[in-house]
Amino acid sequence: MSEEEAQRYGGGTGGGGVGALSVDLLGQVLDRVLERRDRKACRLVSRAFARAEAAHRRALRVLRREPLPRLLRAFPALERLDLSACASLDDASLAAALAGADLGTVRQVCLARASGVGWRGLEALVAACPRLEAVDLSHCVGAGDREAAALAAASGLRELNLEKCLGVTDMGLAKVAVGCPRLENLSFKWCREISDIGVDLLVKKCRELRSLDISYLKVSNESLRSISTLEKLEELAMVACSCIDDEGLELLSRGSNSLQSVDVSRCDHVTSQGLASLIDGHSFLQKLYAADSLHEIGQDFLSKLVTLKATLAVLRLDGFEVSSSLLSAIGEGCTNLVEIGLSKCNGVTDEGISSLVACCSYLRTIDLTCCNLVTNNSLDSIADNCKLLECLRLESCSSINEKGLERIASCCPNLKEIDLTDCGVNDEVNSLAALHHLAKCSELLILKLGLSSSISDKGLGFISSKCGKLIELDLYRCSSITDDGLAALANGCKKIKLLNLCYCNKITDSGLSHLGALEELTNLELRCLVRITGIGISSVVTGCKSLVELDLKRCYSVDDSGLWALARYALNLRQLTISYCQVTGLGLCHLLSSLRCLQDVKMVHLSWVSIEGFEMALRAACGRLKKLKILSGLKTVLSPDLLQLLQACGCRIRWVNKPLVYKDAI
C-alpha cells in the first residue's frame, strides 16, 4: 500500500479518511464486524482502526505465553480473558504478565486445562483483577485446596467451575464458601473428595446459588436435604450420583427452592416414584434429564409429568423402555416440549412417534439414535407436525430412506443439524436422492453421514452447492468419496470448521490440496488415508492457519516432510495424532520443539523413531505437553528424570500396549 493510499484510508497522519473519526465511533463500527478476518483487515488497513480496537476490545484469547504481557497492556478495556489454550503457562509466567497491567475491567477468566497454573498464579490473578466475577478452572486435575483457597480471595466471584479439580476436598470447598458468599453458579463435578459435609457448609454460606453441579460425587441424600433449602436454586445436576435415591428426591421436593432444571441421568437408585415426588414439589420444572436411570416409566411418574404441561420444554429419557401409549401420553400432557431425547429407547415405533409429535408442534430437537423400529412414517409425521425442527438425530435408524428425508427437507426449512450415521440410505441411487433433498436445507450447519459407503462425489456436490453455511461435516468411512468431492466441498462450503474424512481411502494429495481453501477449518480427521503423503499435509496447513486438531493415525505414507510442514505453518495446533506414521526422531524433535501451542500428542508405534529420538523430542516439548499417549514398552527405556519432569509439568501420560498391526484402509 502506498503512502497516499494509507492516508486515504486513515492509515497515515493526515486528517482525512477514517482517521478523522473518533475512537468511540470506530469502536462501534468494529463491534458490528463479526468475522475475525474482516476485523484483522480493518486493523491492517488503518492505524486508526487498530487504535480503536485496542481501546474498545472486550475479549482476548491468548495461545502463547510469550506475548501475554504485551497483549494485556495493549488492551486496557478487557472484560473476558481466555488463557485455556496458552501453552506452557505457569505461575511464574502468569504473575510476570499480570505485574503492572491494568486489569481493573476484567470480569471473566478461563484457565480450563491450564494445569501449569497453581495457587501462586491464582493469587496473582485475584490480586490483579479486583472486579473478577467468573473463573473457569475445569480439568486442572492437579488443582486442590490451596488453589481453591487462592480463588476464595475473590470475594465478588459469582461463577466458578472446578470440574475435575481432583485435589479439591471439603476443606477447599469451605474456603470458597466462606470467601465467596455471592456465588451464583458453581460446578465441582468429578471432585470426588467432596462429601456431604462440604455441601452442607456451602449451602449455609452461599445462599445466592442458582446453578449447582455435583455430578459424579459420592454424596448421599443428606446433601439433597441441605440443597433443598436454597431458595434461589434453579438448576441442579447430579449425574451418576450413585448414593442418591428416591428418598433424596423426596427431600428435594419438600424444599423451598425454585428448581427449573434437574439432571438425574445415570442415577442407578432413582425410580419412577422418586421422579414423581420430585415433580410433585416443583410444578414449574422446565428441563428434566433422566437418561439411563430407569428401565421403564411407571404410571405415577407419567401422571405427575402431565402436571408440567405449561412449563416442561426439555425431556431426556434415553435408554428407557417405552411404548406407543406412553409416548402418546407424553405428547398429550407435555405440549410445550421443544426437545425430546429417546436415544437407545426400546419400543419406539412409528405409532408412538406419530402420536407424540401430533401434540408437540413446537419440537426443535428430536433424538431417535438407535431407534431401529422407526421408518419413513415417523419422518412423515415429524415433517407434518414439527415445522420448527432444527435438529434431528437418526443414527442407526436403518429403516428410513430418501423418501422420508425428502419430506423432512421440504417441510422443515429451519433444519440446522441432521445425523444420518449408519442409516438406511445404503445404495448409490438412494443416497444421491437423499443428498439432493437435503441440499434444500440452506440453513444446515451440521451434517453427519458416517458409515455411508454409497455417498458419492455427485451427492456431496449437491450439498456443497446449496449448503454454504455448513460448519461441520462427518464423512467417516464414506469410501466412495474421491478428490473431486473434496474439490466441490472446498468450493461451496467455505465456513467448515470440523471435517471428518477417516477411512475415505480414495482420497489422495490432490484432494487435500483443495482443503487448503478452508481458512476457518479447525478440526481435521484423516485417519487411515493411506494414499496421502507429506505433500498433501503441506497443502492443507499452508491454507488452514486456524487448525487446532489433526488426526493422522495410520496415514502410513506421511513422513518427516509432513512434520516439517506442520512445524512451519500449523502454529495454532494443540492436538495431534501421528501414530503409525513413518516419521523419524529428527522430524519428531523438530515438530515438538517448534509448535508452541501443542498440548496433546498421540504417537504410538513410531517404528522409525529411536529411543534417543523420543528422548530429545519429549524434552523439547516439556513444559507444554498436557497429555501424551505412547507405547508402554518405552516406560522402562526412557530416562526416569524425563518422565518425572513431564509429570511435574502437569503432563498426563497414557501408556498403551498395542501390537504392531497394519490395517487396510477399508
What are 469-508's pLDDT values in tens digits?
A: 999 999 999 999 999 999 999 999 999 999 999 999 999 9
**Cα separation, 449 vs 435, whole angstroms:** 10
Provide CB contacts within 8 A for 648, sequence distance 6+: none
Domains, the chain, ordered by start: 508-665 (3.80.10.10)
What is the pLDDT confidence band of residue 15, given thresholds at 50, 70 and 90? very low
Decide which of 41 and 275 is more confident.
275
Q: DSSP code of 662? A: P
- Please provide the size of the chain in residues: 666
The DSSP string of 552-609 is -TT-TT--HHHHHHHHHH-TT--EEE-TT----HHHHHHHHHH-TT--EEE----TT-
- pLDDT value at residue 41: 61
- pLDDT value at residue 53: 67
**Contact criterion met (CB below 8 Å) for 316 and 288:** yes
For the segment 356-383, the average pLDDT, to the nearest whole number, is 96
**Cα separation, 101 vs 197, whole angstroms:** 40
Decide which of 20 and 10 is more confident.
20
What is the pLDDT confidence band of residue 3, given thresholds at 50, 70 and 90? very low
- pLDDT value at residue 430: 78
pLDDT in tens, 175-228: 999 999 999 999 999 999 999 999 999 999 999 999 999 999 999 999 999 999
C-alpha cell at 544: 488452514
For the segment 106-128, the average pLDDT, to the nearest whole number, is 94
Between the alpha carbon of residue 248 and those of residues 50, 221, 251, 286, 452, the distances in Å are: 57, 4, 5, 20, 46
- pLDDT value at residue 28: 64
**Contact criterion met (CB below 8 Å) for 91 and 116:** yes
What is the pLDDT confidence band of residue 120, given thresholds at 50, 70 and 90? very high
Q: Is the pLDDT of residue 2 over 50?
A: no
- pLDDT value at residue 43: 60
Cα angle, residue 448 at apex, residues 447 and 450 outer, rounded to 5°: 150
For the segment 317-335, the average pLDDT, to the nearest whole number, is 91
pLDDT in tens, 393-414: 999 999 998 899 999 999 999 9
**Contact criterion met (CB below 8 Å) for 358 and 333:** no
Residue 297: what are its φ and ψ, rounded to 5°? -100, 125
Residue-averaged pLDDT of the chain? 90
Percentage of the chain surpassing pLDDT 90? 76
What is the pLDDT confidence band of residue 4, given thresholds at 50, 70 and 90? very low
Q: Is the pLDDT of residue 369 over 80?
A: yes
- pLDDT value at residue 17: 62
- pLDDT value at residue 169: 97
Q: Is the pLDDT of residue 356 over 50?
A: yes
**Contact criterion met (CB below 8 Å) for 249 and 274:** yes
- pLDDT value at residue 19: 61
Measured in whole angstroms, the distance separating CA 625 from the mean position of its chain's CA atoms is 20
What is the pLDDT confidence band of residue 12, given thresholds at 50, 70 and 90? very low
For the segment 657-662, the average pLDDT, to the nearest whole number, is 76
- pLDDT value at residue 649: 81
pLDDT in tens, 427-448: 677 788 889 999 999 999 999 9
Q: Is the pLDDT of residue 9 over 50?
A: no
Q: Is the pLDDT of residue 39 over 90?
A: no
Residue 551: what are its φ and ψ, rounded to 5°? -115, 115
For the segment 364-371, the average pLDDT, to the nearest whole number, is 97
**Cα separation, 348 vs 500, whole angstroms:** 30
For the segment 574-581, the average pLDDT, to the nearest whole number, is 96
C-alpha cell at 426: 445404503
